[in-house]
Amino acid sequence: MKLILFFLILFSTFSFSQEKSITLKEVWALALKNNQTIKAREYEKNQYEYSYLSALNSYLPQISLSHSFSRSGSQGSAVSNRFSASVSAEQDIINLKTLSSIKQSKYSFESAEINYRTALCDLRKDLITAYINLYFAQETVEVNKRILEIRQENAKLIKLKYESGRESKGNMLYSSAQAEMSAVNLRKAIRDLENYSDELLRVIGIQAKERLKATYSLNLSSISYSENQLLSSISSYPDLKLYEKNIQSAREKLSYSLYDAMPSLKASGSWGYSGATEFPNSKSWSLGLSLSLPIFSNGPLYYYSNTSALKNSLKSAEEKLKAALLSYEKELKSSNRDYESSLDIARTYALLKEANEERYKEGQIQYMAGRMSFIDLENLEQNMIDSKLNYLNYIKNAHLKKVALERLMGEDSI
pLDDT of res. 59:
79
pLDDT at 149 > cutoff 90: yes
pLDDT of res. 325:
92
3-state SS string for 309-359: HHHHHHHHHHHHHHHHHHHHHHHHHHHHHHHHHHHHHHHHHHHHHHHHHHH
Query: Model confidence over 168-200: pLDDT tens digits?
Result: 999 899 999 999 999 999 999 999 999 999 999
Choose among 201, 139, 166: nearest CA to 374.
166
pLDDT at 113 > cutoff 70: yes
- φ/ψ of residue 282, rounded to 5: -90, 110
Residues in the chain: 414
pLDDT band at 202 (very low <50, low <70, confident <90, very high): very high
**Complete domains list, the chain, with CATH:** 2-69+80-408 (1.20.1600.10)
DSSP code of residue 162: H
Query: CA 141, CA 9: separation in Å to the nearest integer?
Result: 11
Q: How far is CA 243 from CA 145, 383, 413, in A?
A: 51, 51, 22
Which residues are registered as beta bridge partners of 96?
none
Per-residue pLDDT, averaged over 30-46, amounts to: 95
Per-residue pLDDT, averaged over 324-352, amounts to: 92
Structural contact between residues 8 and 181, judged by C-beta atoms closer than 8 angstroms: no
CA 340 to chain CA centroid, nearest Å: 24
Query: CA 59, CA 90: separation in Å to the nearest integer?
Result: 10
pLDDT at 391 > cutoff 50: yes
| Count helices and strands in the chain by DSSP H and E runs | 9, 6
Structural contact between residues 210 and 147, judged by C-beta atoms closer than 8 angstroms: no
Walk across the sheet containing 264-275 and list its strands: 62-74, 77-94, 264-275, 282-292
- Report H helices in 16-95: 24-34, 36-56
Query: Model confidence over 6-34: pLDDT tens digits?
Result: 444 444 444 444 678 999 999 999 999 99
Total-model pTM: 0.83
Query: CA 91, CA 59: separation in Å to the nearest integer?
Result: 7
* Percent of the chain whose pLDDT exceeds 90: 55
pLDDT of res. 17:
46
Tally of CA atoms within 13 A in the half-sphere of 385 that contains its CB: 19
Per-residue pLDDT, averaged over 296-317, amounts to: 88
DSSP code of residue 277: S
Per-residue pLDDT, averaged over 187-215, amounts to: 92
Non-local (6+) Cβ contacts of 168 within 8 A are: 162, 374
pLDDT of res. 48:
94
